[in-house]
């Protein structure tokens, strides 16, 4: 199958060809025809499968057939959870719509609102927005939705995790009832399906990979190490393997700043990116990382799904995530669009519970490598997929408790708080953006 068989017009096909693509990915091959037919779509796909182009391409095609947006109106609204993802989607819209007479805008918080209001004054065909800033603009009458034709929720599960459900409901309440709805998500969790009940009508469901699976193009392994030796081991790995571009995940903002400083001190140019950084600082750090001016980018999970970096060969989990699903999203930054990548995790004894949660989720025991000079003094136990934390024996009756109280109900264990790549491999692969 080629893009020419999907019903896209010549200007869009030309933009796709200019990016070096001619064959759609599985998610694109399934989603594009459904969107062009005007159907509501629920699509589940892991990161790096080309799902952004899976909705931007058919949306641009539909918009090219209709009337232009009027003042302060938006014909398509794409909601994303983070600024970085909004910028990425906006870039995809601009790239594939370059030969079409359409206007687009990207709006998010952390920057001045007036320039965004000025851009919306003429009306835009595609508006990419984060929920909070969109509500600010709507409340100031800077954007209206009488002309809205299509709503897209991108990374819907992430938006729920980040607490945007109330903002999403407020936005849905002011949109026209008659519209096309597209929901893209890494998983179809129970919460996502609950949200979908009030959003999509008789949707086409598309799923191109098993839920919570990791890409086969990513080589995964772990390095057992004492916690105090993690910074030194990371430095050793970067220098001995000559990693020129590595994305490193830290659990905390403070930890990300501290690690970036430590790397800089040993001659590895590094920058931190997280929620406390200004938008200008985050944009600059990402641009420097993409250009090679920064060798190591240390990020918190806010960047786990929002970063789009071509040819990223290495991802390192300096800290394992508390939520095992975030491991899948983190390592999805590499091994994209048919190329290969490496994902390594530095794991100490304190991380063992997090490690076993991840391995049970992906149904795989991650291979281990021990580096000479960094053998942990506190060894990491062997993993088993059926491993469960030992249960404390429960008393037979209240009288066995000193305080005479009924034992508390156990908390559900399933609860949750919310190598270089070959560029030649991408010449004929599907758009990943």
Reported as a single tens digit per residue, the pLDDT across 327-361 is 887 887 665 555 567 889 999 999 999 999 888 88
pLDDT tens string 155-175? 888 888 788 889 999 999 999
- pTM exceeds cut of 0.85: no
Q: What is the pLDDT along the chain (433 residues), one digit of tens a residue?
A: 789 889 899 999 999 998 888 788 888 999 999 999 999 999 887 666 788 899 999 999 999 998 999 999 999 999 999 888 898 899 999 999 999 999 999 999 989 999 999 999 999 999 999 999 999 999 999 999 999 999 999 988 888 878 888 999 999 999 999 999 999 887 777 878 888 887 889 999 887 754 444 556 678 889 999 999 999 999 999 999 999 999 999 988 899 999 999 999 999 999 998 878 877 888 888 889 988 899 999 988 765 555 666 667 889 999 998 878 778 878 876 655 555 678 899 999 999 999 998 888 888 899 999 999 999 999 899 888 765 544 545 544 443 333 333 344 444 334 434 444 343 444 445 665 5
pLDDT of residue 178: 94
Q: What is the pLDDT of residue 75?
A: 97
Q: Which residues lie below 8 Å from residue 178, measured CB to CB, with a gap of 6+? A: none
Architecture of domain 218-390+414-422: 3-Layer(aba) Sandwich (3.40)
Residue 136 is inside which H or E element, if any? helix 131-139
Four-point Cα dihedral 376, 379, 382, 385, nearest 10? -80
Look at residue 402 in the predicted model and tell me its pLDDT: 34
The per-residue pLDDT for 158 is 82
CA–CA dist 302, 158 (Å, integer)? 10
- Run of H or E including 171: helix 165-173
* Distance between CA atoms of residues 90 and 52, nearest Å: 10
DSSP state of 190: H
Q: Helix, strand or coil for residue 339?
A: coil
Asked, colleague to colleague, whether 3-207 and 218-390+414-422 share their fold, the answer is: yes
Check residue 185 and give its pLDDT: 84
Contact of 33 with 7, CB cutoff 8 Å:
yes
Number of CB atoms found within 10 A of residue 203's CB:
17
**Domain extents in the chain:** 3-207, 218-390+414-422
CA-based nearest residue to 336, from 212, 244, 216, 188? 216
CATH number of 3-207: 3.40.50.300
For the chain, the C-alpha Rg in angstroms (whole number) is 23
Which of 256, 259, 251, 254 is CA-nearest to residue 230?
259
Angle, helix 324-331 to helix 352-362, in steps of 10 degrees = 70
CA distances from 302 to 21, 71, 158 (A): 30, 34, 10
Return the residue matching tokens 């947006």: 69
């Amino acid at each position: 199958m080629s893009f020419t068989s999907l019903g896209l017009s010549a200007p869009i096909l030309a933009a796709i060809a200019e990016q070096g693509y001619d064959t759609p990915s599985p998610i694109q091959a399934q989603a594009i025809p459904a969107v062009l037919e005007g159907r509501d779509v629920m699509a589940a796909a892991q990161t790096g499968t080309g799902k952004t182009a899976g909705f931007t391409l058919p949306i641009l095609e539909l918009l090219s057939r209709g009337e232009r947006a009027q003042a302060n109106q938006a014909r398509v609204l794409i909601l994303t959870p983070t600024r970085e993802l909004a910028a990425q989607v906006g870039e995809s819209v601009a790239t594939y719509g370059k030969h079409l007479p359409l206007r687009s805008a990207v709006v998010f918080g952390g920057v001045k609102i007036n320039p965004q209001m000025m851009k919306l004054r003429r009306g835009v065909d595609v508006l990419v927005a984060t929920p909070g800033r969109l509500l600010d603009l709507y409340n100031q009458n800077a954007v209206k939705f009488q002309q809205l034709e299509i709503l897209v929720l991108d990374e819907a599960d992430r938006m729920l995790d980040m607490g945007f459900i109330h903002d999403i409901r407020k936005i849905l309440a002011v949109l026209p009832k008659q519209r096309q709805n597209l929901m893209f998500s890494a998983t179809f969790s129970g919460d996502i399906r609950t949200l979908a009940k009030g959003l999509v009508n008789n949707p086409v469901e598309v799923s191109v990979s098993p839920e919570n699976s990791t890409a086969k193009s990513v080589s995964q392994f772990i390095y057992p190490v004492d916690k105090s030796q993690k910074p030194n081991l990371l430095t050793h790995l970067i220098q001995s393997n000559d990693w020129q571009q590595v994305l490193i995940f830290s659990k905390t903002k403070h930890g990300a700043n501290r690690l970036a400083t430590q790397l800089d001190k040993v001659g590895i140019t590094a920058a931190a990116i997280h929620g406390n950084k200004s938008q200008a600082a985050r944009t600059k750090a990402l641009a420097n990382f993409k250009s090679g001016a920064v060798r190591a980018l240390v990020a918190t999970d806010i960047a786990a799904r929002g970063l789009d970096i071509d040819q990223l060969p290495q991802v390192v989990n300096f800290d394992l995530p508390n939520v095992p699903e975030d491991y899948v999203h983190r390592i999805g930054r590499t091994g994209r669009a048919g190329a290969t990548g490496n994902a390594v995790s530095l794991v100490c004894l304190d991380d063992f519970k997090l490690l076993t949660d991840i391995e049970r989720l992906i149904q795989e025991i991650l291979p281990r490598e021990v580096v000479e000079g960094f053998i942990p003094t506190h060894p990491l136990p062997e993993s088993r997929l059926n491993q469960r934390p030992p249960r404390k024996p429960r008393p037979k009756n209240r009288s066995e408790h000193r305080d005479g109280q009924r034992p508390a109900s156990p908390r559900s264990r399933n609860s949750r708080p919310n190598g270089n790549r070959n560029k030649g491999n991408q010449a004929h692969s599907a758009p990943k953006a």
